[in-house]
A and B are shown apart, each in its own frame.
Chain A
């Protein structure tokens, strides 16, 4: 009979374990630090989950904003939950029926999420709470909109500019002057940028690069958007067509290809693989391997972390000659309420805070500007990002652009990336370029690559346009059926 007892005991333990682990975990169970701080009101509050993507010092900023909200009232408590790949996790959770109450997404997620019905529209609440759309810089507001409704609001915005290494410029001052360039300022057009870059390059005895003046693929996050700096666009809103093969876009990609061929595709690949992580002292710009680079408003934070005494300057990124500037790509992190959230009203209260006092805390601590037209007077005082004025200037420029607001943008971007890589790797025999230099070399490279560039980008247009049309068609079908 003994082993029957053992069996019963084992079953008992098992049942206990299942009961213990399967208990739905409560938000308030896993935040002991704050439990102590807010002990008095802990149990009477409504606990909300806020998923965000940030892990490091940006996390501290978000946490500070959340703490500020939690201290400002006594009904709601928001838990900041750091979640890697927040967009995928959020999508799964929304589909799975247990979403967080508030979620911090990437700008690229808004339209796919909104068109799939994963987010709640915020316009009515905005009107009630007095958050007027006029407050925002229009581009940043548009990032969170889909088909005329606002689904997400900007939290920390981004704009990009040209970072240049002043020490490199000074070290080559004489050569720059000899080439008719001013070593005390940044280039003002892309043509000038090319000339600066040419002077700043340094090579090892074996011909491999040691310092590159400029590399269009570093950091490589905006490879698909170069066309905008040549006056192009990726989407024509009037006709509703995608335009990856706009002449300006083709010009941009041929410009990139020139860098690949002049300095050698393989050599560039080897050179780039020697760069460390972005957030490390081995970052190409921070380490001084690249003299000029397009980077965002966050970059001074990282320079301060890894090489606080780096002598760098920031200027609006140049545009091609004849293209009005300054042009900057504008991006933003956004905050939204997922569909199926259990306490939307409370979540909205938190979002309102994140758009007022919270926004100020967040943008200051992350070293960014604010996505609104008139930031509070004290915002700039003691701001840790000393280059802020440049970024505020490019963000306010009417020529700055955001990604096309398309539900198929992710597919579009994937296709553009593929096309970009394809052209970058498109083989041009070295023999063809032998003995050529300067304008002749560029002309030959362009002549050799243009047909392939045109073919590739026309293919991208066809693929994406078909997807776009198809999605439109299906959405219409659903509307006619009165579903969705």
Chain B
């Protein structure tokens, strides 16, 4: 088979006015083919709230945005926690309490004794509610937690009142501007679902800032990757996937090698009939046998183990047997005859003569099987139960179908890591690949 790079079919190199449109078309197509992948990588570096947002510019379609603000003389990444709108009849203040209290008292109409008594809130929320507001920390006094500047008393939502000192008034801003409570953002926030995930974490720096004072920044979060990999139990899943891939690749190549040899070079009664049936089985669509095969494995007691996913591969695969047989038949027959005359057994001929000659075809089969096993999702979905057994593609899907919304940024990070080995493999073995792809399109 001639190499892709060498043979050029249409004889001459086309003139420039044909080359140009060809380049244009290919480039346009290339964009269509690459854009989704670029988006995948771009999304994997965004914060979650930026993944479902209407892009107002090309830059914001691919780069996550965030805000920076000056808090206490230091510029840092912030989250816009909420908008506040003080009015003359509802003035807002920043105050410092004189006694400590739990942060949750500002957001709930009951005190710490109540939430301590009953397990009501989830861990994260509880940590935030239990955080102590020390004297000297700034607190926002709004229309829920009211501050009486004359008396110097802060009335919390929980009903408790304590004395506090005024730090400053919050003045209403000009028409068209907005006031926002901003709080320091940290990279670990990418793990949580909430956008205002820092909301209420009193230990972080915060301030009330006019929107016109905020600066837009590009926010690229490589931390999405470790977070995503931890969530899918990456190492365990990778080991499982590699285990399956090894067994299946070995099984398919070895068995197809041997079986194809039988079909190609050994003559016995019924061979052609069986080969015909083999070809015909390729026409059976997968849904036909799906259910009985499942029931069969159940009767073997194999559901919930890896066996249904690899044992059958040691019995060969119709398509690869067919391919390999075609390849064998193209080999020079005299070598075989010579070996037979030398008194080699059939197995020896296979191992010493045929296999070395058909290395490219075998490599191709191995590659394609690897690809198929790595990507397979329906098989593991049906047969594996225990989280410790999950393969990568299955853990990815479980991650995506988590009830209550998909963490797109983490999903895309995991997907990128998942596709990366295949892309690297493709680059390393491009020649085998392209030759192999060519072979799969053989004459019917």
Contact = CB atoms under 8 A, between A and B. Distances in A.
Direct contact between the two chains A and B in their complex (CB within 8 A)? yes
Interface of A: 14, 17-18, 21-22, 24-25, 29-30, 53-58, 60-61, 64, 68, 81-85, 89, 92-93, 95-98, 274, 276-282, 305-309, 361, 364-365, 378, 381-384, 386
A64 B120 CA distance: 10
Contact of B119 (A17, A82, A85, A364): A364
B284 interface: no
A365 B48 CA distance: 25
A378 B194 contact: no
Given A22-B305, A24-B305, A386-B109, A280 B53 contact: no
B294 interface: yes
A64 B119 contact: yes
13 contacts: A17-B246, A22-B305, A30-B386, A56-B403, A92-B382, A96-B304, A98-B303, A277-B406, A307-B82, A309-B82, A365-B122, A382-B110, A384-B108
Interface stretch (B27-35, B58-66, B394-402): B394-402
A60 B304 contact: no
B387 A306 contact: no
Interface string B402-433: 11111000000000000000000000000000
A305 B397 CA distance: 25
A243 to B, nearest CB: 32
A278 B402 contact: no
Contact of B397 (A57, A84, A95, A382): A84
A306 B301 contact: no
A21 B109 CA distance: 53
Contacts of B120: 364-365, 382-384
A97 B298 contact: yes
B306 A21 contact: yes
B121 interface: yes
A29 B119 CA distance: 28
Nearest to A381: B114
B255 interface: no
Given A61-B122, A84-B397, A384-B120, A93 B303 contact: yes
Contact of B402 (A81, A84, A276, A378): A84
B123 interface: yes
Contacts of B400: 84
B403 A306 contact: no
Contacts, number: 129
Contact of B387 (A68, A81, A307): A81
Contacts of A82: 402
Interface string B382-393: 110111110000
B114 A25 contact: no
A174 B194 CA distance: 35
A336 B117 CA distance: 30
B247 A382 contact: no
A17 B240 CA distance: 10
A305 B194 contact: yes
Interface in B58-93: 82
Contacts of B386: 25, 30
A60 B297 CA distance: 36
Interface in B161-217: 193-196, 199
Nearest to B400: A84
B134 interface: no
Contacts of A282: 49, 52-53
B118 interface: yes
B307 interface: yes
B52 A276 contact: yes
Contacts of B124: 57
A384 B121 contact: yes
B265 interface: no
Contacts of B114: 381-382
Interface in B280-313: 294-295, 297-298, 301, 303-307
Contacts of B82: 307-309
Nearest to B398: A84
Contacts of A279: 193, 404-405
A282 B405 CA distance: 12
Contacts of B39: none
Nearest to B118: A382
Nearest to A274: B54
Given A84-B398, A96-B303, A54 B119 contact: no
B107 A25 contact: no
Nearest to A20: B243
B115 interface: yes
B247 A18 contact: yes
Contacts of B117: 382
Interface string B244-258: 001100100000000
A21 B384 CA distance: 12
Contacts of A18: 247
Contacts of B109: 386
B72 to A, nearest CB: 24
A17 B246 CA distance: 10
A22 B404 contact: no
Nearest to A83: B398
A265 to B, nearest CB: 22
Interface centre among A24, A309, A364, A365 (most CB of B within 10 A): A309
Contacts of B196: 281, 306, 308
A52 to B, nearest CB: 9
Interface centre among A58, A93, A305, A382 (most CB of B within 10 A): A382
B195 A53 contact: no
Contacts of B49: 280-282
Given A17-B243, A305-B194, A97 B301 contact: yes
